[in-house]
Amino acid sequence: MRAVVLAALLLAKSPTSGLAATLSATPAQTFSAIGGSGAWWPNDLFNFPDAVRQNLSTLLFSQSGLGLSHYRYNLGSGGVGVTVPLHAPQSFYVSPGVYDFTADPQGVHFMQQAAAHGISSFTAFAISAPAQLTSNNLSCGGTFVPGTEAAYGTFIADVVSHFRSTGINIDFVSPMHEPDDSFAACTQEGMAVPIEQRADVINAVFAALQDQGLSDTVGILADESSTVALASSESSAWLPSVADKVVAIAHHLYDYPDDSSYTSFVDTVQSVAPGKATWMSDICCGLGAADGTGRAYAQGFDPTITNALMSSGVMFQSFVLAGEPQFDFWTLVSSSLGCSPLEDALCTTTPNSVGWTDGLIYYDPAFATNNNFALYITKHFWTFKHFGNFIKPGSVLIDIPLVGDDVTQTMMAVSTSTTYNLILMNPTTTDSVLTLSFPDTVCAVSAFRTSETEDFATVAAATQDEGSTAWELPLQSMSLTTFTFNRAAC
């Protein structure tokens, strides 16, 4: 009998739980940008029909797409010795002071597209120095050669100066991407920079930027360690002497740290370089449950809402827990589907264990032979669009302290002088409602939701009960919703 009643109740209405909060009146950090990297897909996508290239640029860079505000240009080292051609970007470096700026038309094309769509902040990042400046004269498997710091710094400053003169606002450089790894397998570029050389590289790049009058406008990001574990243990050895020459401590997240490891990293940086922001500049390839359970770097392709919410959880961790101002996904576009879309109708929408979850948009790895130039959009694209569309440079994070619960890492408010955007995730299988009070007068104007069946779909704006000052924000199970409010009376 009891079972029958329960079943009837479940049929009538899925369980709903309630949450209540009052938006803080105190701003947390100011956001700088949401971005991603142009590696290594430009080498393939450059060969696509122009209409598809244009569509891709719109999907990545315009507000009707992801609305990115930052783009990381991969400053190639020539790919000497790299066995995977896709991962071997050409280099502008010919010899000291001699450059060929017609090299890498693939990477430059998409950087120019980003600028043409209004992106005004770029990082030029190098995974390896030009092969001539590494210990093995290759773009992988070696280390940075002591004594070539000045030559390397000059190369970077000259390239940045060149592209700035063409109207592309490169305002950050990162001279050593994952210096903890030489990538000895040579399936991609890589160059180890031993800890004791990192300050020398930064000093040289800073001096070269200074020579060009760029040291106040182009900031150096370092050291892009692969994991926060490495960044935590190594930063005290290289950072103190160059802290004033680095604008932010960029790090990757390939250890998918738990909250206490992430917090401990941020605290370590604050003790070594007080006042320097930490900044998440590269992550991909995580698998795990929507609520973050089992989250880890792993091979496998998961284009579903499960991975989209798991990945959104990493962004909440970076913004809400670690207080970081910027988040850059790794490779925005990928062919690592692990299946053939022309031979398997479910390929692009079904998880498999042989692909990689390293892109937001995918393409057919066999495009060159089968002429399939389709672009395949994952759920992660749509959840990332919430962050790209609503977290703009200069907007501010506002915490949402929940009443009677300390789990705030699925919710954030982003404010400007005229709006609040509430980005709210419900990674559980239970529908919920957030009853939210504001410190000032607001009016609900719109809402967008991404779920298993919805892609940034327009849904009802938040509502207000008659006579109540609080607002009701429905949080459908397994979804990410953005509710927009004007900071004014209705």
Binding site for ligand NAG (CB under 6 A): 55, 136-137, 374-375, 377
* CB 377 to ligand NAG: min, Å: 5
Which residues, including other chains, have CB under 8 Å from residue 402's CB and lie 6 or more apart? 19, 20, 21, 408, 411
Toward ligand NAG, which CB reaches closer, 31 or 382? 382
156's tokens: 């970077």
In the complex, least distance from residue 376 CB atom to ligand NAG, rounded to whole angstroms = 6
Residue 357 CB, shortest distance to ligand NAG, in Å, is: 18
Report, in angstroms and rounded to the nearest whole number, the Rg of the chain calculated over CA atoms. Answer: 23
Tokens of 436: 């939210």
Q: How far is CA 30 from CA 72, 102, 170, 326, 458, in A?
A: 20, 38, 20, 9, 27
**Minimum separation from the CB atom of position 279 to ligand NAG (A):** 30
Smallest CA-to-CA distance from 424 within 462, 385, 479, 464 is with 479
User: Given the structure tokens 């990689």, which residue do they identify?
Assistant: 356
Side-chain half-sphere CA neighbours of 311 within 13 A: 32
- In the DSSP assignment, the letter for residue 215 is T
Q: Least distance to ligand NAG from the beta carbon of 340, Å?
A: 17
> Closest CB to ligand NAG among 377 and 461?
377
Nearest by Cα to 393 from 25, 89, 35 = 35
Q: How far is the CB of 445 from ligand NAG (least distance, A)?
A: 27
CB-based burial label for 270 (10 Å; 0-12, 13-18, 19+):
middle
Q: How far is the CB of 443 from ligand NAG (least distance, A)?
A: 33
Q: Which is nearer to ligand NAG, 130 or 219 (CB)?
A: 130
CB-based contacts of 301, cutoff 8 Å, min separation 6: 336, 337, 338, 339, 351, 352, 353, 354, 355, 356, 357
Count CB-CB contacts under 10 A for residue 6.
10
In the bound complex, what is the minimum distance in angstroms from residue 142's beta carbon to ligand NAG? 8
List alpha helices for 296-418, DSSP H: 305-316, 367-370, 379-390
Q: How far is the CB of 119 from ligand NAG (least distance, A)?
A: 19
Local structure of residue 339 (DSSP, 8 states):
S
Q: How far is CA 305 from the centre of its chain?
A: 18
Nearer to ligand NAG, 253 or 333 (CB): 333
- With CA atoms as reference, report the closest residue to 139 among 99, 187, 180: 187
Give the length of the chain.
490
For ligand NAG, the closer CB: 86 or 377: 377
Residue placing its CB nearer to ligand NAG in the complex, 27 or 97? 97
Least distance (Å) between residue 278 CB and ligand NAG: 34
What is the SS3 assignment for 269? helix
Q: Provide, rounded to whole angstroms, the least separation between the CB of residue 12 and ligand NAG.
A: 37
Our CB check for ligand NAG shows the closer of 62 and 261 to be 62
- Closer CB to ligand NAG, residue 377 or residue 445? 377
User: Minimum Å distance from CB 328 to ligand NAG?
Assistant: 22
Look up residue 136 and give its DSSP letter.
Answer: T
In 86-177, alpha helices (H): 105-116, 149-165
For the CB of residue 320, give the shortest distance to ligand NAG in the complex, in Å. Answer: 31
State which residue, 20 or 375, has the beta carbon closest to ligand NAG. Answer: 375
CA distance 304 to 302: 6
Give, for 262, the enclosing helix (H) or strand (E). Answer: helix 259-272
Nearer to ligand NAG, 23 or 59 (CB): 59
Sign of torsion over alpha carbons 204, 210, 214, 215:
positive
* Bridging pattern class, strands 443-450 and 457-459: antiparallel
Query: Beta partners for 17?
Result: 432
